[in-house]
Chain A
Amino acid sequence: MNNHFYRVLTSKATRIAMLCLGLVLMASNNMSFAAIEEVRFEEAALEKRYQGLIAELRCLVCQNQNLADSDASLAKDLRKKTEDMLKAGKSDQEILSYMSDRYGEFVLYRPPFSLSNALLWVGPFVLLLLAATALLLNIRKRQRNEVLKSTYAKDESKHIKVRNLLNDAPSLRSEGDEKNSSDKPNKP
């Protein structure tokens, strides 16, 4: 078993395949880093804010990427803009509103709560609440049914007794009971 595994691992085809896989991994790694140009900040805190901001801002060309990951020319320009504004001493809020003033709230991955996007923010919680309520009501209803059934079962013996008594008093019998009483002998 072990020997066989070793032979497979060292066979020519496997080695070539592994080499190819390694190359592909290396190439894709290089590509993901190629998007970011080197940006130098004097202070580490500024660098950290820069990384945070470009991760928070959407690239408008390739809409499902943020500025940090995008290689689009516009993303590059907006990264430069972010860098310049940070170096000019602007606050994070100022930079974010600079971007959303020009490109709309869509540029922000976490748009501020407003009337126009209220449904988006609150919607999932409303749905969760509705589902939880429905579940609770369903459980309650089931429990109530269970209780009713058990009380019914308890009463059934008394019920039969009453029926039997009624059968003995023909003057009190109604039509419906007559049908039931005809069923009686079949029941244990």
Chain B
Amino acid sequence: MYRTHPSTTQSGEFSVKFLVPLLIFITLATFLGIGLTLNPRDLPSTLIGKPAPEFSLAQLYKPEETISPADLKGQRWLLNVWASWCVGCRVEHPLLNELAEKTTITLLGLNYKDDPKNAIQWLSERGNPYGLIAKDLSGDAGIDWGVYGVPETFVIDEEGNVIYKHTGPISVKALNEEILPLFDKAAQANSVSSNSAGGK
């Protein structure tokens, strides 16, 4: 009597216990799978929701004049950090040209640790989408903005707060789905379609 009873419970427990490693494996695989799809270079910016760091830098085309973020207060604008030595900047440049052509959004360039001669040459070859360009020769402004992977793109609102950051070349998708919706309809005109190269 007692011999049959314990054996049935044992087989019942066994099937449940058998599932435990499988469940642990599924949980682990799910988390690792999610981890694999994340971009480790895409760090959250500490600047989001905070006032844009100030700088007062000489302009690329007019070295005797300076430009600072304070000059742009009262409007929503884009800051694009770029350099002639940066490969990713070549990828996103056609998109910025198209943005400048199709919208009225103010686009400020921050020429990061570049030789002004090379920068001007680079723009004369590829077109200049920037309204104004600040020269950050030392890279100090870059450090204040937390720049670690050029190109980087920021959106600054009317009050002078940073509301968005994109690290790396902007893609058509990021531009249309994340950046342009931050601007009002009047400035957007029509969305950037870009069959002109862009993030390929």
Which A residues are in CB contact (< 8 Å) with B40?
63
Min Cβ gap A86→B in Å is 16
B143 touches A78 (CB 8 A): yes
How many chain A residues touch B (Cβ–Cβ < 8 Å)?
16
A103 touches B1 (CB 8 A): no
With A and B bound together, what is the CA distance between A144 and B180 in angstroms? 68
| B45 interfacial contact with A, CB 8 Å | yes
With A and B bound together, what is the CA distance between A61 and B148 in angstroms? 6
Which A residues are in CB contact (< 8 Å) with B45?
104
Which B residues are in CB contact (< 8 Å) with A180?
1
Interface string of B134-163 (1 = CB under 8 A from A): 000001001111111100000000000000
Name the residue on A nearest B44 (C-beta): A104
Min Cβ gap A97→B in Å is 11
| A90 interfacial contact with B, CB 8 Å | no
| A173 interfacial contact with B, CB 8 Å | no
Name the residue on A nearest B145 (C-beta): A102
A176 touches B1 (CB 8 A): yes
| B113 interfacial contact with A, CB 8 Å | yes
The residue that B143 contacts in the complex, of A61, A102, A176, with Cβ under 8 A, is A102
Interface string of B24-65 (1 = CB under 8 A from A): 000000000000000011011110000000000000000000
Which A residues are in CB contact (< 8 Å) with B41?
63
| A81 interfacial contact with B, CB 8 Å | yes
B139 touches A104 (CB 8 A): no
Question: With A73-B113, A77-B143, A102-B143 in contact, is A60–B149 under 8 Å at CB?
Answer: yes
30 contacts between A and B (CB under 8 A): A60-B148, A60-B149, A61-B148, A61-B149, A63-B40, A63-B41, A73-B113, A73-B139, A74-B139, A74-B148, A77-B139, A77-B142, A77-B143, A78-B143, A81-B143, A100-B46, A101-B46, A102-B143, A102-B144, A102-B145, A103-B43, A103-B46, A103-B146, A103-B148, A104-B43, A104-B44, A104-B146, A106-B43, A176-B1, A180-B1
Q: Given contacts A102-B144, A104-B146, could you give 19 more A-B pairs where the C-beta distance is less than 8 Å?
A: A61-B148, A61-B149, A63-B40, A63-B41, A73-B113, A74-B139, A74-B148, A77-B142, A81-B143, A100-B46, A101-B46, A102-B143, A102-B145, A103-B146, A103-B148, A104-B43, A104-B44, A106-B43, A180-B1
